[in-house]
Amino acid sequence: MEQLPDMLTGLTQHDIEVVEPLPMEYAGAIPQIVRPKEAMQWLNAHHYLSPITRHALLVLESIDAIDLAFDTFACTLLDGETDTAGYPEYSAIVGGVAAHWDEATGDMIVRGVVGWGGRGVRGDTDRLAQRLLASILTNILANQDAMGLARVDRPVPAAGRGGLVCTSCGFAAAHERSFYCPKCGMRLLRG
């Protein structure tokens, strides 16, 4: 948790915010205004975050690039400007590193994730984002504990059920299939 923000060193002049996996009570949180119950959960879970992080979560969750049922996400503004209210402009690139515990090995998997709001000059934004992803990967691999590259499937959470309570830290995972506590990484025991 402490090392994730370091992997964005040199890539931003803005604050880096770490978003932890959501507990069971927010298992249904989705940033879709047409689903008021799920949208309300999403707002309740994220209203305290900075405008940059909330914007990033909206963009990246909508395209399923991150899932806070199991991901921990270190997030910042990587390129572009914010408006006067502090929200990223549509062409601004947001993102950072997302981490989860691999279901099979228990290793922590860290990946670079970037995205942007939609408008803007697409070719330029694409190229910039590719470059940022490459820089993030370099930073991840430069971490003292990095073991190398891995190809893994992301866990698939079962919708709206929730998993086990961690005996170590007490966290109630929103992810039904968790073998490892999304928050502290301890092996979860099944009854």
Q: Which residues bind Zn ion (CB under 5 A)?
A: 166, 168-169, 171, 181, 183-184, 186
Shortest gap between Cβ of 74 and Zn ion (angstroms)?
Answer: 19
Cα–Cα distance for residue pair 108/81, rounded to 1 Å: 32
Helix (H, G, I), strand (E, B) or coil at 73: strand
Nearest CA to 110 out of 58, 149, 60, 168 is that of 149
Amino acid at position 58, single letter = L
Q: Which is nearer to Zn ion, 74 or 164 (CB)?
A: 164
Helix, strand, coil % over all residues of the chain, rounded to 5: 25, 20, 55
Q: Closer CB to Zn ion, residue 71 or residue 79?
A: 71
Q: How far is the CB of 163 from Zn ion (least distance, A)?
A: 11
Nearer to Zn ion, 18 or 186 (CB): 186
CB of 59 to Zn ion, least distance (A): 28
Q: How far is CA 156 from CA 20, 32, 178, in A?
A: 18, 20, 10
Looking at beta carbons only, is 73 or 180 nearer to Zn ion?
180
- CB of 158: closest distance to Zn ion in angstroms? 19
